[in-house]
Amino acid sequence: MIQVIPEIEDTHLTFLLFVFSLQQISDYMETVKFISDDPAQKQFALALRKNVNAYFRENNLSTKGDARMWIKAVLMIAAYITPLVILLTIPMSGVYAILLVVLMGIGEAGIGMGVMHDASHGAFSTKDRVNKLFSYTLFLLGSNTFNWKIQHNILHHSFTNIHGFDQDIETKAVIRLSDHSPYKKGYRFQYLYAYFFYGLMTLSKLITDIGQLREFNQKGITAEQGKKPGMEVLKLVLTKIIYLAVAFALPVLFTDFTWWQILIGFGIMHVTAGIIMSTIFQMAHVVEGTEQPLPDENGVIKNESVVHQLRTTSDFARNNRLLSWYAGGLNFQIEHHLYPNMCHIHYHKIAPIVEKTAKEFGIVYNLKPSLYAAFRSHAKRLKELGAKSETTT
């Protein structure tokens, strides 16, 4: 069964140690352990925890969200709902309608990154019911909360950038994101076309959620999370039907747009959200300087878990406060992976502490100074991955 060592609670800080034992599902996963012979790595982990704890203790702060998260939630949901209301109540030309669905896509991405993401990690609020409520905002994107928590909270955070374990770096149709994935010559132009396919992220989830949940059910993951597989399938199907019914029925009933115009608008909204979210996600893990290690024959990654997180993630544009606000701190990916249960509103203060501590122990802190630098680095990695023919399968 999937077992995650319990969170270590210390005054104001919840620090999640990534030590995992996945001995179930032998045909799906192996056991992966993070072990280092370097005593400095253990000392780094202790020093980092001490330094970050001190910040929260000295400032008498909770690691969770505060009123700022409620304000953001209202604004992001409004950015999604308000254009829809205008579309449904005011007759307009196709040009204005397109602008509004683009705004909806921007709001949809903002909900996913800045509201749902924190809530699904239990970081939005100190109250579990509030976190659960706002985690359900993922339904506004047409996706499934349970699937997300398995894929993201457990698999991605547990096995960051580890081929065969982290689904986020699995080959996406015609996009190769791992050094160890099978290679095809067609990938050589992916640095040019990848962003179009990134736009299909949320649209594809409308369909692939079903197959993904089926896989989780078959492999026993759903049951091990204390859920009934059949009930999860029923909930997923019903929420998909309701989402699609609302998305198409309301425009049909309240506007003069034809069905194909509505379909195009729906697609534009999702492509806008998909491009934004996928690009930001990938700029945190598939850039220069981030590693993609493989376990050895004994299933061991030869780093302490906290060091593994630093070596597989990257921060970017830390001084861009607007981007940090909109993206829910996903440009502080190092801090997020070290402290997934910490609300992103704290990352701006925590990041210098993490960077300073890492440098004191000679551990590389991967930082791209701007959004452009991160985008350029990601494009370069896509080009490298598209040109590389040596693979490990």
Q: What is the mean pLDDT of residues 368-384?
A: 96
Q: Where residue 336 falls among pLDDT bands split at 50, 70, 90?
A: very high
Bridge-based pairing state of the strands 13-15 and 8-10: antiparallel
Q: Where residue 3 falls among pLDDT bands split at 50, 70, 90?
A: very low
Q: Where residue 272 falls among pLDDT bands split at 50, 70, 90?
A: very high
Domain residue extents for the chain: 1-393
CA-to-CA separations, 53 to 5, 14, 43, 168, 227, in angstroms, rounded: 19, 9, 15, 30, 34
Q: Where residue 389 falls among pLDDT bands split at 50, 70, 90?
A: low
Q: Exposed/middle/buried for 10, CB within 10 Å: 0-12, 13-18, 19+? A: middle
pLDDT at position 12: 35
pLDDT at position 1: 35
Q: What is the mean pLDDT of residues 299-312?
A: 93
Query: Taking 60 as the threshold, does the pLDDT of residue 14 lie above it?
Result: no
Q: Where residue 388 falls among pLDDT bands split at 50, 70, 90?
A: low
CA-to-CA separations, 36 to 39, 45, 285, in angstroms, rounded: 8, 12, 22
Q: What is the pLDDT of residues 123-139, one digit of tens each?
A: 999 999 999 999 999 99
Distance CA 159, CA 155 (A): 6
The DSSP-derived string for 80-131 is HHHHHHHHHHS---HHHHHHHHHHHHHHHHHHIIIIIHHHHTT-S-SSHHHH
- HSE-CB at 62 with a 13 A cutoff on CA atoms is 12
Q: What is the mean pLDDT of residues 211-221?
A: 89
Report the percentage of the chain scoring pLDDT > 70.
91
pLDDT at position 29: 45
Nearest CA-CA partner of 152 in 122, 107, 173, 176? 122
Of 392 and 51, more confident: 51
Instruction: Find out whether 15 and 60 touch, Cβ atoms under 8 Å.
Output: no
CA-to-CA separations, 238 to 141, 206, 262, in angstroms, rounded: 14, 12, 22
Query: Taking 80 as the threshold, does the pLDDT of residue 4 lie above it?
Result: no
In the chain, DSSP finds a helix count (H) and a strand count (E) of: 17, 8
CA-to-CA separations, 287 to 151, 229, 267, in angstroms, rounded: 21, 37, 28
Distance CA 143, CA 236 (A): 8
Nearest CA-CA partner of 137 in 203, 177, 80? 80
